[in-house]
Amino acid sequence: MLKDVVRTRSYQNVITQNSFLFKDKIVLDVGAGTGILSLFCAKAGAKHVYAIECSQMADMAKEIVKKNGFSDVITVIKGKVEEIELPVPKVDVIISEWMGYFLLFENMLDTVLYARDKWLVDDGVVLPDKASLHLTAIEDAEYKDDKIEFWNNVYGFDMSCIKKQAMMEPLVDTVDANQIVTNCQLLKTMDISKMSSGDASFTVPFKLVAERNDFIHALVAYFNVSFTKCHKLMGFSTGPRSKSTHWKQTVLYLEDVVTICEGETLSGSMTVAPNKKNPRDIDITLKYSIDGHRCKVSRTQQYKMR
Amino acid sequence: MLKDVVRTRSYQNVITQNSFLFKDKIVLDVGAGTGILSLFCAKAGAKHVYAIECSQMADMAKEIVKKNGFSDVITVIKGKVEEIELPVPKVDVIISEWMGYFLLFENMLDTVLYARDKWLVDDGVVLPDKASLHLTAIEDAEYKDDKIEFWNNVYGFDMSCIKKQAMMEPLVDTVDANQIVTNCQLLKTMDISKMSSGDASFTVPFKLVAERNDFIHALVAYFNVSFTKCHKLMGFSTGPRSKSTHWKQTVLYLEDVVTICEGETLSGSMTVAPNKKNPRDIDITLKYSIDGHRCKVSRTQQYKMR
């Protein structure tokens, strides 16, 4: 993931160019991994950085911190945020790279909110502090045939029952911007410094307007994050028109092929919630309809990210 | 994996073109997945096929068998080979697609041998019945830099301790045939119809002779399988000179960059064994040395596939 240049360079630029946020501050790095963000913060003048990491990578992070001469500034704590003790009562800054596929997959946001409520001072800073989910629609005949319709005839056999399951699995893949048929719509904005855990479950309406005559095979979701406490607004987008990241985009195939004319609207709603059994998985319900010149459809589809 | 055409077409051709092996026979499909091999066998005239699959896919396989009208010929049994009961005392044919990365990763071969010893009639047929492991050496400066040396300087920090770990992890990747510097050597042949479980642990010598002046950054292992009971010899290779498969090749990076001249020999031995704690993982020990015109090296390296 360090090789995702958009991701790591964005954090590096935020930290390096805004040392006023870190100078002499106590910083908490939630899910520190190799400790790269903690190292950036230490270099930017943090008084102390607590880097929490629950995987084996914590041992590597300790070695890396030592090797790079930051043992007196960075303390790596191996354990779960919900279970560990911090040596200080409060921190000034929480930094984390918690975003998963479709923003919310694997639900690490909950851990950041837990850390915020437990340790962040009243006027403390969360980085990033804004995240937004966006939706657009694409033409994708070739890949839908390859990934979904494939199951209709597999070496001469009918495996269409697998097709039903494949349809329910959002596909994480890179979408070519030329496939976009409609506008891109902001679905939901989250303020990480204020929101509660329950705000990650929501139903939001959408209206996608066709920018050309085309077919729609799938809706595509992606997210942006921003750091609004910087000297100037900073952040990055994982949308199909931006430089690609390891998050790619999330493709939700539609059961119907929608024939849409320029100016017509595909409207509906998206419901997002963590799965009740496995809160790291996400359930998505999509309702969509079009009452168009060449196509009338109204349907509800369920998806499970797992 | 059904989309791995080399793999699935090979099995399809073996079964379809050699119906004499299946006609009126009782067949056991070990690790049946979607049931595709069982369907091929049923179509080729098998008297009955028992398809064992331990994952949720077994439910899909049942539905697929029914949908395609083979319910009276194919019985899908959901469970582990080591735990289930077969409705018949013996089978005439065992077919399985058990091969993992580096042939042996995930150790499904053991399950096939268990099924063979328990259920196969004395003159029964195992498909495939031969598998072989091969070794060659490649020049790979660019990717070694990207995957291994990368850790020396990560956004200005020294993460070389991760490099040590990265070196120990065999990399499953597609190798360009133009990178091959030496001959390709057969390391080990396994006769699936006769071998015992312990034969999957072995130490074998190798001698790789350079075919040009070049550098060697890695050794590359791959496997071939064959079906010698067919009317004519059939099988496929997963080597870098063959059409690529989902198994790709397995790259073992060397700590040294070996400077080798045409005709010189890199020799040594490879020890392969399932990990004692996790028998599905594989431990590999590589000893290699060269006493060449421009390079003298002698080293032992450990790898863990997990």
Q: CB A197: neighbour CB atoms within 10 A?
A: 15
- Statement to judge: residues A89 and A143 lie in one domain: no
Q: Are strands A74-78 and A48-53 parallel, antiparallel or unpaired?
A: parallel
Residue A65 lies in a domain: yes
Domain assignment present for A126: no
> Are residues A67 and A184 located together in one domain of the fold?
no
Same domain, A93 and A161: no
Mean pLDDT over B269-286 rounds to 96
Return the residue of A nearest to B16 by Cα. A155
pLDDT at A2 exceeding the cut of 90: no
> Chain B within 8 Å of A161 (Cβ-Cβ)?
yes
pLDDT digit string, tens, across residues B184-227: 999 999 999 999 999 999 999 999 999 999 999 999 999 999 99
pLDDT at B1 over 80: no
pLDDT over 90, % of chain A: 96
Could you tell me if residue B112 is inside a domain? no
B19: domain CATH number is: 3.40.50.150
Question: Is A148 in the same domain as A294?
Answer: yes
Looking at the domain assignment, is residue A262 inside a domain? Answer: yes
Total structural domains in chain A?
2
CATH number at B287 reads 2.70.160.11
Within this chain, do residues B91 and B167 fall inside the same structural domain, yes or no?
A: no
Radius of gyration of chain B, Cα coordinates, nearest whole angstrom: 22
User: In this structure, what is the dihedral angle of CA atoms B138, B142, B143, B148, given to the nearest 10 degrees?
Assistant: 110
CA gap A188, B50 in Å, rounded? 51
Q: In chain B, which residue's Cα lies nearest the Cα of A16?
A: B155
Average pLDDT over residues A168-194: 97
For residue A102, tell me if it sits in a domain: no
Measured CA to CA, the distance from residue B131 to residue B225 in angstroms comes to 4
Residue whose C-alpha is closest to residue B35's, from B15, B48, B18, B52: B52
Q: Which domain holds residue A215?
A: 131-305
> Which value, to the nearest 10 degrees, does the dihedral of the CA atoms of residues A162, A167, A170, A174 take?
100
Measured between alpha carbons, how far is B35 from B13 in angstroms, rounded to an integer? Answer: 16
pLDDT tens profile B42-55: 999 999 999 999 99
- Are A187 and A240 in a shared domain? yes
Is B244 in the same domain as B286? yes
Q: Are residues B270 and B140 in the same domain?
A: yes
Tell me how close the Cα of B60 comes to any Cα of chain A, in angstroms. 7
- What is the pLDDT at residue A107? 84
**pLDDT of B30:** 98
Q: Is A97 a catalytic residue?
A: yes
Q: Are residues A79 and A189 in the same domain?
A: no
Do A149 and A216 fall within a single domain? yes
pLDDT, mean of residues A126-150: 95
**Domain co-membership, B147 together with B273:** yes
Under an 8 A CB cutoff, do A2 and B154 touch?
yes
Phi/psi of residue B236, nearest 5 degrees: -150, 160
Can you tell me whether residue B303 is helix, strand or coil? strand
> How much is the pTM?
0.91
Q: Is A106 a catalytic residue?
A: yes
Residue ending a domain, choose from A46, A77, A97: A97
CA distances from A139 to A181, A216, A295, B108 (A): 7, 5, 15, 41
Looking at residue A191, its pLDDT comes to: 98
- Write the DSSP string, A199-235: GGSEEEEEEEEBSSSEEEEEEEEEEEEEETTSSS-EE
Cβ-Cβ contacts under 8 Å, A74 against chain B: none
pLDDT of residue B269: 98
Q: Which candidate in B53, B82, B85, B106 is catalytic?
A: B106
Q: What is the pLDDT of residue B236?
A: 98
Q: Is B147 a member of any domain? A: yes
A26 falls within a domain:
yes
Domain membership of residue A275 (yes or no) is yes
Q: Are residues A166 and A237 in the same domain?
A: yes
Q: What is the pLDDT of residue A87?
A: 97
Give CA separation, B24 vs A151, B123, B136, in Å. 29, 15, 43
Q: Which of A63, A82, A85, A97 is catalytic?
A: A97
